[in-house]
Amino acid sequence: MKRWAIALPLLLAAATPGFAAFEDDCLFTGRLSGEGGWRVLRPGLEARGIAMRFEDDSIARLSAVRVEPGRFRAELRWNPKAGPAGESAAEVARLTGAAVVVNAGYFDENGRPLGFFLSGGKVYNRRILFRGRGEALHLGAIFFVREGGALGIASREAFEPEGMREAFQAGPYLVREGRPVPGIERYREYWRTARRTVLAFEPDGRLLLLASETEGRGLSWCELQSFLARPEAQGGLGVAEAMNLDGGSSSQLLVQAGGFTGGVPGRPVPAFLVLIPRRESR
């Protein structure tokens, strides 16, 4: 699988004033730089590579896609027949005709979804785990698709399944209304670096999907929050909403459109979010 042809380094030079505070409070002091940017693969679908260089010269790389939701049908795929081993992103793309495939939420050792999971109007797990409790914030957010096609993120406290076609529980909720969500700093993952998958929305409603590449440094929840919420002019992405998905070896992203195939490979998993191009009206 090809890596993205575009890489935008986020240069966090040691000489930058205030850089030493980065490891303590995760504030990004660099700016996005480089000649590349979003690459249009087809109407409503763009791809981009992102690189972040840290004070110790380690680099974290992410592959990203940006999608206009109205041009795609968003569906969740959970195949119980696949068993604990799950399916590969390439296989899911072939079976569904999806232009974008990304791993979704968490699952147990038997391949069953952890937390609420709704696909095609069918509920596979109706429990909203830890609802009403101030713990387990790694399951604090729910991505949803309404029957009318609108996409969004809700907290597990606010989510109501009525009128939903697709939904899954994951987390933590990283960015809400443009600001980092507080409360997750007491978790180990707040500081621990690992491969990540992130689902986010820009202020104009476009959907962003990001996955850590297999080479390079991982990212902590703290670093993700800062990078996602910080405006582009200040070295971030400036998203309005964002949630963390399953990561580690599950983290993966496949895009195929306009003669281009690329992304991040990962192990077979039971649950995916797929984006299938809608037929353009003539």
Each residue's pLDDT, cut to its tens digit, for the chain (282 residues) gives 444 433 333 433 332 333 333 334 665 544 444 446 899 999 999 999 998 888 888 889 999 999 999 999 999 998 766 666 788 999 999 999 999 999 999 999 888 899 999 999 999 999 999 998 877 888 999 999 999 999 999 999 999 999 999 999 999 999 999 999 999 999 999 999 999 999 999 999 999 999 999 998 999 999 999 999 999 888 899 999 999 999 999 999 999 998 999 999 999 999 999 999 998 643
What are the residue boundaries of the structural domains of the chain, listed by start? 8-277
Residue 25: the pLDDT is 60
> Model's pTM, two decimal places?
0.88
Q: List Cβ neighbours of 158 (8 Å cut-off, separation of 6 or more).
A: none
Per the DSSP assignment, residues forming a β-bridge with 47 are: 39, 65
Element (H, E) at 260: strand 260-264
Asked if residues 135 and 147 have their Cβ atoms less than 8 Å apart, the reply is no
Closest CA to 185 of 233, 118, 137, 131: 137
Residue 136: the pLDDT is 85
Dihedral sign (CA 204, 196, 245, 87) = positive
Closest CA to 55 of 24, 17, 15, 25: 15
Residue 54: the pLDDT is 84
Residue 234: the pLDDT is 82
